[in-house]
Structure 1
Amino acid sequence: MRFRPLILAFALVAALVTVVPTNSGPAQAAAADRWGFALVDNPTVPTWTVLNTTRQWGSWKPGFPGLWALGGKIAAGRFQVRFPQVGTSVPGIVHVTPVNRTGHYCEVVNSGPAGTDQLVVVQCHAPGGTPSDTAFTILWTLSSGIVPVSQGTHAYVRSTAAGGIVQAYNSTGGGVGVLPGPPGQYQVTLAGVGGTAGPAGNLQVTAISTAGAPRRCKFANWGPSGLDIVAIVTCFNQAGVLTATEFNLSYHRERSVIGSFAPPKFFGYFSPFGGQTNFNYPIGFGVNTLSGGPVWQLVYPQLAVTETHAQVVAQGTGPEYCHLTWPWTYVGLDANVSIICFNNAGTVVPYRFLSTFTSKD
């Protein structure tokens, strides 16, 4: 059965949807103009420490091969990341995935330029909401231009807590809409980015709190409506209560989570929908394999090509959340990603999730 948008769950009319037509430009294989990713595997290092060089890369590298992403702790649970030579006043989007077995979670505090660099501040919390350090992965990306759908699709939006659009991008040139519902619930529509054979592609979402308040977001549901992708985003506070929250959401189909293609030519994504939500380039559909539970082991065949990056988000109703158990490993040519999920109290539970993985190449 095809997904049906849950508009009836929202006490609003369609006329209230904020729709932003995205910018156009020449067709191109690569959509991401500027980007960077990193793994913060030690969240207590001082500023500015070089972050793990086997798990970071960015669009600055061709012009500045000797520069690396830097970071450092600036307060309890708060860490700042600097991506060099990609600074811009255009916000772009940030995704963050915690890496731990303790149930700590993270949100973005802010992101912006510092001279020629891009700075991102991340705040993390222990279950219950106390600021506390944890490892995490981070991706910042900014895209423009129209890409033929035959080369895959990519779209994103930064939404305010009230459902207003701060910035949006759609590689098809179509619109992006956000429909706020009851507190902490949003319907996001990405026009024309979906596939033709049911659910396809991958979504990620990350909470934003400029005050550093404990927040996390996930997907209650998502899927196709014609060629559009419709997602129900839900956001929670430390008590597991639905709470109006700013967020970054992105979608990619047959492209990497960065938004580009060729490069990267080694990437994949996975969700429990199966079908075209289980994709691996260059191999194809249905080859990424999941085992275990409640600590899941996800294998991306032939994607152990350094340098690499992973993001995870939970899918389902309720305040449960998911992230990386520990940094991913390589076994031969395969990348092994371990995923763990928690209830609001920080107890490990089996749960659905969306995972995405990419190399720089």
Structure 2
Amino acid sequence: MRVSRFLKEWRTRLLAAGAALTMAGGAVVLAPGVAQAAPARGLAYVWANSPNSALNVPYTPSAFYSRNSTGGTNTVVRTGTGQYTVRMPGLGLIGGTVHVTAYGSTSHTCGVNYWVPGAGGRLDVHVSCFTRTGARVNTTFDASFVNTAVVGGSRIAYVWANQPTSAAYTPSTSYQFNSGGSTNTITRQGAGQYRVRVPSIGAAAGHVQVTAYGDVAARCKVVNWFPSGSTEYVNVRCHNAVGRLADNRFTLTYVRSTGILRTTPAAYAWANQPTTAAYNPAASYAYNSTGSVMRIRRIGTGTYRFVPPNMPLGNGHVQVTAYGSDSAYCKVDFWTPSTGVQIRCFAPSGALVDTYYDVAFQR
């Protein structure tokens, strides 16, 4: 029964990606359980900084903003307008989770289309990017992957929410994790509205990142999160391109006192004062692995800077998720050691708008 369920999950994942399972014409079909040289666990991230690169020609993104725990060199391939494949050597086994955020000053958005093992033991992460109205567009983005099995220690949980119309279900066990050793579950509370139940690691603290999943111009965000006993509950909403609630798949990560990739140096914050000129984010929902106190500044309407002292901002990786029940969304604009991390938030109309958000930095 365990093998049967695993094969079903694998088949569902490939169908969701639009892949054809066939042996015709000598096509190579990767099967679950096939021995590979790749390690079972690891992490990687990239800043995909050449959005208009030649079609189907791999390029190596900036080494300052790229990492692979296996020591391999990540590459990116543009496969069509607004369509990219991030190749992560040595990480090509089943499992893990992916987050993606668009980069730059435009109102474009990006999400994870799917991820599967590729040739030579690598992991292929497929990314789709859109204008605010849902048209495909070439744009810069950040993408991260982590696959962990270490129970205990720092708190982390993640899920691939793969049944968007189910009333209540256990998301794919191959693509979820809980450092408390429990199983995460999800309930649907209405069109585009979900509650993720994370047992064993609840606290009035921590950090959440959410990414829309699938080749669709959807935007998913965290509404709030809170503990009930030892269980953490995370509410999520997904919207379509015009800002209406719509059922959609997503990936979600919850962490506490660790980075979203479970390594250091790392920092995160919940930016909960969208119209305040400058403030220190709430300590329970902020973390800096050096122990430093973070600062957030409002530069103008919908434009903010997150300043995490002693973080190596000449390198690293950033993910951003909007927070709240409305249809606003956020992205990373840029980051430098002198400015910190600049973030922009938009209404579905494309206008800059003040809103709450979650931001995470990882090196």
Could you tell me the TM-score, scaled by structure 2's length? 0.80
Structure 1 residue 337 corresponds to structure 2 residue 341 = yes
For 1:305 and 1:220, how far apart are their aligned partners in 2? 28
Q: Among the aligned pairs, what percent are the same residue?
A: 26
For 1:281 and 1:321, how far apart are their aligned partners in 2? 27
For 2:296 and 2:118, how far apart are their aligned partners in 1? 41
Q: What does residue range 241-280 of structure 1 map to in structure 2 within 5 Å?
A: 241-260=244-263, 264=264, 266-272=265-271, 274-280=282-288
Specify the SS of the correspondent of 2:337: strand
Q: What residue number does 1:289 align with?
A: 295
Alpha-carbon shift at residue 275 of structure 1 (Å): 2.3
Tell me the number of residue pairs that the alignment of Structure 1 and Structure 2 aligns. 304
- Measured at CA, do residues 192 and 93 of structure 1 come closer, stay the same or move farther in structure 2, by a change above 3 Å? same
AA aligned to 2:284 is Q
The answer to whether the 8 A contact 2:330-2:343 is kept is: yes
Specify the SS of the correspondent of 2:112: strand
For 1:130 and 1:349, how far apart are their aligned partners in 2? 22
Q: What residue number does 1:321 align with?
A: 329
Structure 1 residue 357 corresponds to structure 2 residue 361 = yes
2:59 to 46, 49, 52: 49
The answer to whether the 8 A contact 1:194-1:253 is kept is: no
Q: Which ranges in structure 1 are unaligned for 5 or more consecutive residues?
A: 1-31, 62-66
Q: What residue number does 1:60 align with?
A: 70
The answer to whether the 8 A contact 1:315-1:354 is kept is: yes
- Deviations, residues 10-29 of structure 1 (Å, cap 9, x unaligned): xxxxxxxxxxxxxxxxxxxx
Q: What does residue range 93-104 of structure 1 map to in structure 2 within 5 Å?
A: 93-104=97-108
Q: What does residue range 23-102 of structure 1 map to in structure 2 within 5 Å?
A: 33-46=41-54, 47-61=57-71, 67-88=72-93, 90-102=94-106
AA aligned to 2:152 is V
AA aligned to 1:84 is P
For 1:100 and 1:346, how far apart are their aligned partners in 2? 14
Alpha-carbon shift at residue 306 of structure 1 (Å): 5.8
Alpha-carbon shift at residue 91 of structure 1 (Å): 3.0
1:147 to 141, 144, 152: 152
Could you tell me the TM-score, scaled by structure 1's length? 0.81
- Higher RCO (CA < 8 A, seq sep 6+): 1
Q: Which ranges in structure 2 are unaligned for 5 or more consecutive residues?
A: 1-39, 273-281
Structure 1 residue 125 corresponds to structure 2 residue 130 = yes
The answer to whether the 8 A contact 1:43-1:72 is kept is: no
- Deviations, residues 12-55 of structure 1 (Å, cap 9, x unaligned): xxxxxxxxxxxxxxxxxxxx921110101221123310011100
Specify the SS of the correspondent of 2:176: strand
- Deviations, residues 54-108 of structure 1 (Å, cap 9, x unaligned): 00101111xxxxx3110021111111110011111x1311100111222100111
The answer to whether the 8 A contact 1:44-1:72 is kept is: no
The answer to whether the 8 A contact 2:314-2:336 is kept is: no
For 1:250 and 1:173, how far apart are their aligned partners in 2? 15
Specify the SS of the correspondent of 1:214: coil
AA aligned to 1:337 is V
For 2:111 and 2:357, how far apart are their aligned partners in 1? 18
Alpha-carbon shift at residue 307 of structure 1 (Å): 3.9
For 2:234 and 2:160, how far apart are their aligned partners in 1? 14
